[in-house]
Amino acid sequence: MQNLQRFEAQLIDWRRQLHASPELSNHEFETTKKLKAWLSEYGIASASWGLKTGLVAEIGSGHPIIALRADIDALPIFEEVEQDFTSKHQGVMHACGHDIHSSTILGAAILLKQHEAELHGTVRIIFQPAEENYTGAYEVLDAGVLDGVAAIFGFHNIPELPVGTFGTRAGAFYANVDRFNIKIQGKGGHAGRPHETKDPIVASAQLVQAVQTITSRVVDNLDTCVVSITQIHGGTTWNVLPESVHLEGTIRTHSKAVRAQVGEHLSQIVQGVALTHGVTANLEIDHGPAALINTPKWAEFSEKVAKEAGYQIEALPLYLIGEDFAAYLEQVPGVFVSIGSNSAYGLHHPKYQPDEALILPAAQYFVRLAQQVLDHLKQQQP
């Protein structure tokens, strides 16, 4: 027990070191060095696999091969939590808990190394860069890290759940994430002579209202859909009507069909409003990560193991946030799960403060999961 307590203290210390020195997507150079050194202390070799940042380690040997993934990047947020390990990098913060994820999977790797001779296959440990800008998973795939992998597993901490709780879903879980930009080009002029202009502000106001009809009058009420305009920029002073207005926003859905339907209807609305007001409008949609679709078999399997590990199982709703782990699940079966972190403030908030008590139990859970998945897959081999 004393050794386990020391190990938990070590994991928490590593988490705090990561938290104090956060790095943005694709710039996780020091984070990568730290993780490599800590793995090496326990006799675990790791390699870059050609990635600029991030690293991959393997424990065990032979087939089957499964993967555990943790993300390692931080966010451009000014931390507002006063603690001994507050971010030393001004304007950068682990406000999503990737430091928690990394220390957890690091702990799992070390515990698995202690039982390496008993493993019926290989566990590939992936410390993935650049989740926050949705490019890291694709970099990992392009590097061939998932070649030969039979199943992949990952998790996210959930602030609204208490420590000791666990949840996942079969099928759709996290959302398709799309970003759109709209530029409305009008004709500026004197605010006291609006009839001589083509006012892009009035057109923008109508557009904001019209876009809300997509969720209320176009998409089936039984399908999940959010369309939010999050930025409007136009004008420079009080007595001049501007030449143009720029709007930006996001679309969140869970099915390919609804994703396509929303994009098509948004385009119709933009062009219709532009025609009505005699302005021109340009719409660009940037498709982010696809919806995260858990393999039902592994969702059920992971929940069974969580029960055995003593977790309280929660029935979770569909999430409308994005997660690039979805890219892995388009190529390899697996599951993404949620583990409670009990923070008064949510993800991406400057006062987000997860409970470190989740780290060791979650590491032990992933050890148990990896062992049982390998055993199961070994039994299925001819």
Q: Which amino acid is at 134?
A: Y
Query: Is 156 known as a binding-site position?
Result: yes
Query: Is 348 known as a binding-site position?
Result: yes
Query: Is 98 known as a binding-site position?
Result: yes
| Dihedrals phi, psi of 337, to nearest 5 degrees | -125, 165
- Of 366, 321, 309, nearest to 69 by C-alpha is 366
Contacts of 379 (CB under 8 A, 6+ apart): none
Task: Find out whether 173 and 225 touch, Cβ atoms under 8 Å.
Answer: no
Quote the Cα angle for 34-39-44, to 5°: 150
Contacts of 3 (CB under 8 A, 6+ apart): none
Terminal CA-to-CA distance of the chain, rounded, Å? 40
Residue 140 CB neighbours (<10 A) = 25
| β-bridge partners, 287 | 178
Say whether 320 sits in a helix, a strand or coil. coil
- Token reading at 100: 């928690």
Separation CA 119–CA 94 (nearest Å): 33
Query: Is 243 known as a binding-site position?
Result: no
Query: Is 376 known as a binding-site position?
Result: no
- Token reading at 265: 């209807």
Examine residue 129 and say whether the peptide bond preceding it is cis (omega within 30 degrees of 0). Answer: no
Q: 3-class secondary structure for 239-273?
A: CEECCEEEEEEEEEECCHHHHHHHHHHHHHHHHHH
Quote the Cα angle for 268-273-278, to 5°: 125
- Token reading at 351: 């006062």
Quote the Cα angle for 295-318-253, to 5°: 95
Annotated binding site: 96, 98, 132, 156, 348
Annotated binding site for Mn(2+): 96, 98, 132, 156, 348
